[in-house]
Amino acid sequence: MTYRPTVATAVPDLTMLTLGVEEEYLLLDPDTGENLPVADQVLTALRGSARDQSRQEFRHSMVEMVTPVTADLAELRAQLVTLRRSAADAAEAAGARLVAVGATPLHEPHRTVPDKPRYHAMSRRYGPVAHDPAVCGCHVHVGVPDRELAVQVCNHLRPWLPVVQAITTNSPLHDGVDTGHASWRGMQLERWPSIGPTPYFGSAAEYDRTVDELIAAGVMLDAAMVYWYARPSASYPTVEIRVGDVCPTVDDAVLVAALARALVATVLDDARAGVPAAPVRDCLVSAAHWRAAHDGLDGELIDLRAGGARPAWALVDELFAMVTPALDRHGDLAYAIGQLSRLRREGTGATRQRRVLDRTDDLRAVVDHLAAATVAT
């Protein structure tokens, strides 16, 4: 049997939901822009709490930083600023640049996995897929201690996660060219058998039984390989939303965290009241995520409630309207309004990268732009 977090025995106070963010970053060569396999040196160079909040990743050219749990958005922002700065300093000491970008923009010559039994097992099981170029995501944990509720929350999130994905798109470049997709990371990850939209589950027991069956089928090594776009965390009493590219700036990441928490809080009210999630066919959910990864916010998204394609910003506006009471309750409304206005002006990370490339016709200028944005405060 797989590991199961303890289920809450009493209805928790979910008025103010906690937050935590995991961010993955690339380590790039300052001269060539290629991936640089110096993660071990970077992790060794980290000091104090930053070292405790770092994680080794699946690529030698990646590091992950994890914020402490907080209920305060300003505190979350301060934590991300500190963690990015600490990781950037450690990267510089190792001769690399820390870059918040969703997929390898140029080349990654060194693709072996770190020397850990789990990573070697993944390499043997999944073959070349496990040696794809590095991709980096932003995972938002929102506190939902009751697993039964957490499963229902994930059901309710399904129509809205493509909109969240579109907001985070930050990987249009790969192998030195524009892929035509706002999130090439989203395309790469589709090769993994345990990644994709969260299936609909009637209960936590059905969720657990399905995960056990997928492990028995060989699709996953264990429950930690449930990489669905939203899931009850295998390790923490949270709903983990893991659909997005890593965001280019701290404020982009904090905006996504604020919207994610407000979205969870909003659908949680329905879940606690026993309101069933709207049934949406899996193939249409997958199509909506493909369109989000392709267009970002510069085109259209699929409206999974009404059907058909609509302007992306119309769906963002509807998401915002729906979660406004929860944003207000958590004290995040003014911040979200300001940052959404900025996002509307500046565009997503993908849009900003393309703007730099159009202006300079120089991929290294795009990397310079991304590196500066990563540590901007």
Residue 291 lies in a domain: yes
Say if 6 falls within a structural domain. no
Q: Which of 269, 251, 228 is nearest to 167 (CA)?
A: 251
Domain that holds residue 204: 19-375
Residue 26 to residues 33, 95, 106, 367: CA-CA distances in angstroms? 10, 13, 11, 11
pLDDT tens for each residue of 283-323: 999 999 999 999 999 999 999 999 999 999 999 999 999 99
Of 80-84, 106-110, 177-181, 312-316, the least confident: 106-110
Question: What are the tens digits of pLDDT across the range 8-37?
Answer: 333 444 578 999 999 999 999 999 999 999
CB 69 within 8 A of CB 12: no
> How high is the pLDDT of residue 14?
54
**Per-residue pLDDT at 137:** 98
| Torsion from C-alpha of 205, 206, 212, 216, nearest 10 degrees | 150
Q: Would you place residue 241 in the very low, low, confident or very high pLDDT band (cuts 50, 70, 90)?
A: very high
Is 14 within a domain?
no
Residue in this structure with the two tokens 């302007």, named with its chain if needed: 311
**Sign of the torsion angle spanned by Cα atoms 166, 234, 91, 95:** negative
* 53 located within any domain: yes
d(Cα 376, Cα 373) in Å, to the nearest integer? 5
Please name the residue ranges forming H helices in 10-95: 39-45, 48-52, 73-93
Question: Is residue 239 predicted with pLDDT exceeding 70?
Answer: yes
Distance (Å, whole) CA 288 – CA 303? 8
Which pLDDT tens digit goes with each residue over 148-172?
A: 999 999 999 999 999 999 999 999 9
CATH number for the domain that contains residue 156: 3.30.590.20
Under the banding of pLDDT at 50, 70 and 90, the label for residue 7 is very low
Q: Is residue 2 one of the residues assigned to a domain?
A: no
Percent of the chain with pLDDT over 90: 94
Residue 11 belongs to some domain of the structure: no
Report the domain count for the chain.
1
- Is 314 inside any structural domain? yes
Q: How far apart, in whole angstroms, are the C-alpha atoms of residue 340 and residue 258?
A: 11
- Using CA atoms, how far residue 108 sits from 59, 298, 339, in Å, is 10, 28, 33
